[in-house]
């Protein structure tokens, strides 16, 4: 009897050792197929071929894809290949380990030659039995050029931790990113981004909603262009918080810049808050989807503009009729002439007249509720009016506001303005004025 029991135990162990890796390989293939169905369409890529070679303890998957747009005229669409090396042995004794590489795919080149070339991306992922996963992605220093820009970056590293398919923690670091165009150059140094996100199920609409907090820190940004003086910004910090409740998006973004230099002029700490409320996500997603469909059609620029107007205007009307709100609050910029302070709040009410409201400016004015507050040093206002590097329309508008008393001088040497528009009625510094007062 003991021999029979011992034999059964050994048989069960051997069966588990045999079946578990095989079953894990089948499940891994199923998950990879699900990934392919979601990843490539969502990123506007075309999957050309996908193969999966399943083994008992180790499997290899290859996915070949191409972009939907050419990088340069008179060239073929670039092709790439993902190589996934998957160790799926003795779960749950050890986690599943996936090593992924991304290569460019040269036309007519043997696969072995392609996969021996330098990688564009490396990823190392471990997946625990409870669904937790940790991925480390590394992108080596590379340069990318198309008809419009030359993009260069130094090493980029990203860590992503997914816990029980409900929370995501991500961190991205890069020493430098540089973009060169015909118009100028921008260099971004010391980039760190981290995010804490939650994935909540929207049972009513059968989808998942992602929301949470993100933080971006940049050591320095340098911008040089042909028609503007050089700009340098130091110690940029952004903190954003997003929530989606009942299909409506709310975002609060806090900004903080330690120092700004424009040519030889230095500006101290600047900060402000940007908020959006009641933005209808289904409509925004439909606008994005429609625009992507138009952008990937073989239209001329004029045809693309006409098609975009025809298809996006009804969606824009739907979005505006959902009463979206936008606010810029606590704006404070320290300048050599003193502190510039201000704020702006905009809220839309449903437009009357349907799609024809776009042809009737008074419909917009009656549906728009807006408040603007401005507190600007006199010497800074004079500089803005006289500086020829500033857009002439802005200069003339500030000059007109000063002459008409919309910007009102106080005893402290500052100009103040409080403008409110509601139900088609304009109030400027407490006095009712015609709408044309601030437009002309």
Distance CA 357, CA 345 (A): 22
Single pTM value for the model: 0.78
Distance CA 325, CA 320 (A): 9
Secondary structure class of 156 (helix, strand, coil): strand
Distance CA 329, CA 236 (A): 18
Distance CA 164, CA 167 (A): 7
| DSSP character at residue 131 | S
Q: Which two tokens stand for residue 393?
A: 């329309």
Q: Which two tokens stand for residue 385?
A: 């009016």
Q: Summarize pLDDT for 33-82 with one digit per residue, the tens.
A: 777 777 777 777 888 888 888 777 788 888 888 876 655 555 667 788 88
Q: Summarize pLDDT for 275-300 with one digit per residue, the tens.
A: 999 999 899 989 988 888 888 777 78
Rg (CA), the chain: 29
CB atoms within 10 A of CB 95: 19
Secondary structure class of 416 (helix, strand, coil): strand
Rounded to the nearest 5 percent, the helix, strand and coil shares of the chain are 25, 50, 25
Q: Summarize pLDDT for 8-20 with one digit per residue, the tens.
A: 344 334 334 444 5
Secondary structure class of 178 (helix, strand, coil): strand
Q: First and final CA of the chain: distance in angstroms? A: 102
Closest CA to 418 of 361, 373, 381, 355: 373
Q: Which two tokens stand for residue 293?
A: 């469909």
Range in 104-113, 167-176, 184-193 the model is least confident about: 104-113
Distance CA 226, CA 184 (A): 6
């Amino acid at each position: 009897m003991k021999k029979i029991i011992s034999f059964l135990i050994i048989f069960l162990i051997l069966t588990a050792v045999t079946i578990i890796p095989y079953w894990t390989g089948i499940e891994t293939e199923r998950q990879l197929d699900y990934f392919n169905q979601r990843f490539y369409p969502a990123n506007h890529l075309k999957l050309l071929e996908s193969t999966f070679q399943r083994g008992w303890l180790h499997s290899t998957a290859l996915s070949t894809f191409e972009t939907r747009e050419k990088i340069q005229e008179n060239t073929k669409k670039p092709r790439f290949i993902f190589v996934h090396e998957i160790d799926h042995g003795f779960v749950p004794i050890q986690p599943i380990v996936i090593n992924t590489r991304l290569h460019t795919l040269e036309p007519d080149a043997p696969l072995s030659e392609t996969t021996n070339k330098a990688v564009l991306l490396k990823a190392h992922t471990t997946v625990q039995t409870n669904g937790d996963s940790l991925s480390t992605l590394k992108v080596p220093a590379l340069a990318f050029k198309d008809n419009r820009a030359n993009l260069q970056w130094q090493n980029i590293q990203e860590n992503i931790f997914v816990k029980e398919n409900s929370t995501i923690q991500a961190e991205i670091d890069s020493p430098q990113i540089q973009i060169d165009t015909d118009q100028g150059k921008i260099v971004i140094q010391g980039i760190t981004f981290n995010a804490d996100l939650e994935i909540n199920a929207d049972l009513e609409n059968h989808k998942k909603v992602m929301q949470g907090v993100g933080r971006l820190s940049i050591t320095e940004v340098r911008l040089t262009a042909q028609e503007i003086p050089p700009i340098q910004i130091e110690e940029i910090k952004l903190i954003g918080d997003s929530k989606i409740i009942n299909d409506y998006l709310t975002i609060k973004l806090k900004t903080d810049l330690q120092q700004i230099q424009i040519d030889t002029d230095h500006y101290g700490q600047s900060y402000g808050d940007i908020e959006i409320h009641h933005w209808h996500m289904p409509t925004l997603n439909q606008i994005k989807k429609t625009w992507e469909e138009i952008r990937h059609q073989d239209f001329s620029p004029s045809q693309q503009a006409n098609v975009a107007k025809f298809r996006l205007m009804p969606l824009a009307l739907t979005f505006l009729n959902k009463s979206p709100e936008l606010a810029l609050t606590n704006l404070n910029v320290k300048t050599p002439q003193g502190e510039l302070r201000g704020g702006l709040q905009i809220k839309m009410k449903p437009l009357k007249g349907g799609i024809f409201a776009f042809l009737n400016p008074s419909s917009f004015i009656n549906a728009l509720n807006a408040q603007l507050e401005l507190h600007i040093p006199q010497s800074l206002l004079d500089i803005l009016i006289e500086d020829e590097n500033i857009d002439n329309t802005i200069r003339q508008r500030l000059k007109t506001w000063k002459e008409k008393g919309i910007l009102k001088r106080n005893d402290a040497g500052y100009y103040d303005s409080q403008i409110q528009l509601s139900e088609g009625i304009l109030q400027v510094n407490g006095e009712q004025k015609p709408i044309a007062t601030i437009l002309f």
